Amino acid sequence: MDKQKRMKELITLLKEASEAYYAQDREIMSNFEYDALYDELVSLESETGIVMADSPTVTVGYESVDELPKERHEKPMLSLGKTKDREELAAWLNDKEGLLSWKLDGLTVVLTYEDGMLKKAVTRGNGEVGEVITPNARVFKNLPHKISYKGKLILRGEAVIKYSDFEKINEQIGDVDAKYKNPRNLCSGSIRQLNNEITAQRNVHFYAFSLVTAENTEFGNSREKQLLFLKEQGFDIVEYKRVNAQTIGQAISDYEEEIKTYDIPSDGLVLIYDDIAYGQSLGRTAKFPRDSIAFKWADELRETTLKEIEWSPSRTGLINPVAIFEPVELEGTTVSRASVHNVSIMRSLKLGIGDRITVYKANMIIPQIAENLTKSDNVVIPDVCPVCGGKTQLKNLNDVQSLYCTNADCDAKKVKAFTLFVSRDALNIDGLSEATLEKFLAKGFLHSFRDVFHLDRYREEIVKMEGFGEKSYQNLEEAVNKAKSTTLAKVIYGLGITGIGLANAKLICREFDYDPQKLLAADKESLSRVEGVGEVLAAAFYEYFRDEKKRTEFEELLSELDLVEETIDRSNEQINGKVFVITGSLNHFENREELKEKIESLGGKVTGSVTGKTDVLINNDITSTSSKNKKAKELQIPILTEEDFIRDYLS
């Protein structure tokens, strides 16, 4: 084997995986596969003595995205060396004491406080340069805005979304395909929003794990005292245990038991010397500090037999492969299936029916295939959809090959479409779960959305169905009747037009005076001019209603509904047609949403970021050096306090 050639191949693969994970919030390979490739590269570099300039073993992370301002860290943020060997950790400690803590799985953030106030928050980025997300950090649920310490304080920590909050957020999303894949991706996207109102809705928490600088403060050469100091200042600190070579084994076992019910995402542990001076005296490698090391859970692997590949269609037409295997016990539960994600990963594993495979739980939670031991590669990709029998098509998107159903009338697509239509943010019909909708579709009760309002035709059949009865039917009938009174925006959202969320639907409906006929007559150009819509969404909206069948179904649906009249008072010339941005806390209005609704009721628009189209920025902290204030000043856009706005625009 040409070792240098293999090294270049590995670098390319690992860089692509890192870019997908850190910059695009998607995964093209499992953690297990990434670690194996990384270890192979390290071994080859050691054998050859050659380390390429772009090797991930000497670079840190991935370049930050361009949407947010960038800033260089005062001190580089290095990755950690890692091990899965408990004895190695004990040997690493030698005769020293250390702090063993969770390695939280979110987004690392560096905070700077001056004069007791939060002045700056920057993401890790590539370790040298990060993204400035100060407005977003200010809405982290547990972050102190003011602390008693008045010197310059710099600390590092992990911003995370807890599993319980992640599940609640996903429960509110009716479209199964739109649900978030894991807490880390949701957290990363939430923190890097241009509009911190979205961040505030996501329940992001911050856990401090390292103090970088605290002017004129002594900590007795102890990392633990630094953490306790941060705790005294009001920060939640990462849970840790003080350990030595004799006690670390039991501490790891305790963590291993705790992670089974731990609400905060974690992908391992971190061990650092408590003795600051000793740790610093060890220096660093090109990539890793020598005062700390990461412990990755040794994945509990189980060997089993692949029984079949189940092809699971979705509302978008995407058909995902799911591996079904002989049940095995993993991390205390019985597991018999694991998503293979897409055709590219399935092919890279060379899966075949009857193959011997090893499976594990990523981060001890999500079942994954680790390795295919026999690689018979005999899985046949279906040329017809398993639900409707329509033709399938392989598509390459971002170098990932996936299978799609081409039949627009596929019942699987209808299930997802109806699920979205009856979801809380759309028609909000209790009693129509996805499982119930599947049954109704299979029996031919539902063909178009208006059929939801004529389920009384099938009353006798429904009350006899498993899980139903007279009371259940009555509850469903009440929910359906209640749903008839709704808003045009919720109807538009419920149609499932690609990319059109409830917020977009509200903007479009308001632009066209809540008039369905004006919406149907709108062209791409007028739609794209709607603030927050743009050309892509405008094209999707326009093309949806160019389909005569969908247009007719929409008009028939409207005949079943009592649309709540949404009127706009355009008499206030100060507000009508103007664009406002709201930031910071408020005193007179309960929250920003209340002020936003007030402005919109008077014909104004409220957006999340300051642009050349913005007329007024409302911020009670006029002297703030926030990015919104800076941008407004650059564009000579007036910045008004809440009191100024009430006096000048509402009185």
Query: What Å distances lie between residue 627 and 135, 631, 644, CA to CA?
Result: 8, 6, 21
Return the number of other C-beta atoms located less than 10 Å from residue 442's C-beta: 11
Return the number of other C-beta atoms located less than 10 Å from residue 463's C-beta: 14
Distance of CA 100 to the CA centre of its chain: 28
Q: How far apart are CA 271 and CA 296, in angstroms?
A: 11
Cα 284-290-292 angle, rounded to 5 deg: 135
**Which residue is associated with the tokens 């997802």?**
416
Buried b (16+ CB within 10 A) or exposed e, 52-71: eeebbbebbbbebeeebebb
Secondary structure letter of residue 20 according to DSSP: I
| Stretch (H or E) spanning 542 | helix 534-546
- Of 422, 440, 547, whose CA–CA distance to 491 is shortest? 422
Return the number of other C-beta atoms located less than 10 Å from residue 219's C-beta: 15
Beta pairing class for 117-123 and 107-114: antiparallel
Catalytically annotated residue among 3, 75, 82, 103: 103
Length of the chain: 651
Q: How far apart are CA 211 and CA 155, in angstroms?
A: 4
Beta bridge partners of 323: 309, 338
Distance of CA 210 to the CA centre of its chain: 25
Task: Answer yes or no: 490 catalytic.
Answer: no
Answer for the pair 207, 264: CB distance below 8 angstroms, yes or no. Answer: yes
- Active centre residues (catalytic): 103
